[in-house]
Amino acid sequence: MTATDAAGNIGAETITDKADTVAPLAPSVEQNNAAGLVGTSEANALITLDLGHGTTLTTTANSQGKWLFVPNPIADGETATLTATDAAGNIGPSITTDKADTIAPPAPSVELNNASGLSGSSEANAVITLDLGHSTTLTTTANSQGKWSFTPNPITDGETATVTATDAAGNVGAETTTEKADTVVPLAPSVELNNASELSGSSEANAVITLDLGHG
């Protein structure tokens, strides 16, 4: 590219940078929860978040294309649109986020903690993480009614553990510390008196004694 003045003098040549006429792809959203809004795009692109009502925010993707807004500026249950603009000023197509889920699930409840298993309730379909300590964790998924279980009980008799729930958006709720596990079954009751006046005997303290008379 050269410039020529009115007298016909031709200036020095300028070589342009390579033309960039290709717009970036729409950003992808990988996380949209209480911890933040996170995703990927073209490396070093300017990411514009339109929250509606004339409110926009921007951030810049890093050299690997990662971008984030922390804390998440989208209100719980609301959506927003995202666009990427590259260094040449090309603006890519916009995407609309899913509804933000910024509410963490409640702490799980523990309803059974004995030899038959560890079980309880939580938010429906939450991932339940059981931390046994010493860097040992186990996971299971609650069903559509929020019921979850670990069978057999992985907690050592007399020990405790913590349980947390993580929802589909990745929000992690408060932890619950279990009571000490009791995974040792009681000894069979002894019968000490069995006559017309009474049936009596001994067992583990505070045990519930069930008498089966047969015939259903």
Closest Cα partner for 37 from 49, 25, 46? 49
Dist CA 25 CA 61 (whole Å): 13
Closest Cα partner for 97 from 29, 47, 51? 29
Matching fold, domains 1-101 and 104-210: yes
Residue 8 has pLDDT above 80, yes or no: no
Dist CA 28 CA 16 (whole Å): 32
What confidence tens digit (pLDDT) does each residue in 26-55 have? 999 999 999 999 999 999 999 999 999 999
| DSSP structure class, residue 29 | E
Enclosing H/E stretch for 176: strand 176-177
Residue 82 has pLDDT above 90, yes or no: yes
The rounded radius of gyration (Å) of the Cα atoms in the chain is 32
The per-residue pLDDT of the chain, averaged, comes to: 92
Q: Is the separation of the CB atoms in 65 and 38 below 8 Å?
A: no
What is residue 11's predicted lDDT score, i.e. its pLDDT?
74
What are the residue ranges spanned by the domains of the chain?
1-101, 104-210
Residue 155: pLDDT band with limits 50, 70, 90:
very high
Mean pLDDT of 67-80: 97
Share of the chain above pLDDT 90, in %: 73
Dist CA 34 CA 128 (whole Å): 18
Q: 15-38 as b/e, with b when 16 or more CB fall inside 10 Å?
A: eeeeeeeebbebbebeebbbbebb
What is residue 15's predicted lDDT score, i.e. its pLDDT?
72
Residue 19: pLDDT band with limits 50, 70, 90:
low
Look at 6-15, 39-48, 51-60 and tell me which has the smallest mean pLDDT.
Answer: 6-15
Mean pLDDT of 129-151: 97
Rounded to two decimals, the pTM is 0.73
Q: What is the CATH number of domain 104-210?
A: 2.60.40.10
Q: What is the CATH number of domain 1-101?
A: 2.60.40.10
Amino acid at 85: T
Dist CA 142 CA 107 (whole Å): 13
Closest Cα partner for 159 from 128, 135, 182? 182
**What Å distances lie between residue 102 and 28, 68, 92, 167, CA to CA?**
19, 15, 27, 10
Share of the chain above pLDDT 70, in %: 96
What is residue 208's predicted lDDT score, i.e. its pLDDT?
86
Residue 17 has pLDDT above 70, yes or no: no
What confidence tens digit (pLDDT) does each residue in 156-193 have? 999 999 999 999 999 999 999 999 998 888 878 888 88
Residue 197 has pLDDT above 80, yes or no: yes
